[in-house]
Amino acid sequence: MVGIGEFARYLGVSVRMLRHYDALGLLVPAHVDPASGYRSYSATQLDRANRLIAFKELGFPLDQIGPVLDAELSPAELRAMLTLRRAQVAADLAADQARLADIERRLRAIEGGTMETLEFVERALPAVRVAQIVGRAADQPEIGPTIGPMFERLATALAQAGVGLTQPPLAWYRPVGDAMEMAAAFPVSVSQLPAALAEAGIELATLDACESAVTVLHHGGMESIGQTWQHLVRHIEEAGLRFDGVAREVYLHMPMDGDPAEWVTELQQPVARA
């Protein structure tokens, strides 16, 4: 057997931490001298100690580790548990990275961002006939997870029905109270859709022409498109204009197997003089 100091060194932890594990009953010394209270550990305890430390470093609460250790899981069971925990940690890390990226975008927005590199164009928009699926999101975080599957469903259905697609897809957005009504749409030249598409909730509609809209190109993925919309809003107000119609996004270049940094989306906001 070895003393607590040596055992702590072999494990790469502090003596204080070993005493804490002892107090919790997670790693009790093999022997405690009744006179001095000096703790000694056996080499046979190294396996339990290593498992304990691994679970702790993976983020398991100490009150949950004891029952797992006492269950004496097989290597296969232990591996499965740690694999699951690794996936959870990876998901947490991805969420943290997404939050960090959002903070960076917010900072750029506060600092004025890249507005000086954006070119705002005021022009008329023609009427567009589209095949569309209309949906609604109760709050902003639901928009992406809602409209993404709508586009997948629409593209698949149109392809299966043999409806030709020659123009970029688009989306439109319209606030309804606190919610957001929106549509995934593809411009089409047909005057009538196959009955099967109508039964699947796909409708033919015409987006009205407008005399004036402010447009701007957004370069990059959807995670940063909100910042470009904010710049567009500022430009509209500074130009003495007001919103006057349904906002649109036209996805000019968005290869699904390409780098999102190369995506190009045109933002279109119909306006009128204030």
What is the 8-class DSSP label of residue 61?
A: -
Asked if 150 and 184 count as a contact pair (C-beta separation under 8 A), the reply is yes
Rounded Cα–Cα distance for residues 110 and 157 (Å): 42
Phi, psi at residue 189, to the nearest 5°?
-105, -5
The whole-number pLDDT of residue 110 equals 61
- Quote the radius of gyration of the chain (alpha carbons, Å): 30
The whole-number pLDDT of residue 63 equals 85
Q: Which helix (H) or strand (E) holds 223?
A: none
Q: For residue 17, how many C-alpha atoms fall within 13 Å in the half-sphere facing its CB?
A: 12
Buried b (16+ CB within 10 A) or exposed e, 231-267: bbeebbeeeebeebbbbbbbbeebeeeeeeeebebbb
Strand order in the sheet with 31-32: 2-3, 39-41, 31-32
The whole-number pLDDT of residue 96 equals 82
Asked if 134 and 183 count as a contact pair (C-beta separation under 8 A), the reply is yes
Chunked into runs of 10 residues, the chain (274 residues) has average pLDDT values of: 86 90 92 91 89 83 83 75 80 82 66 69 96 92 91 93 91 92 94 88 94 94 86 92 94 85 94 89
Asked if 123 and 213 count as a contact pair (C-beta separation under 8 A), the reply is yes
The whole-number pLDDT of residue 263 equals 92
The whole-number pLDDT of residue 2 equals 84
pTM over 0.75: no
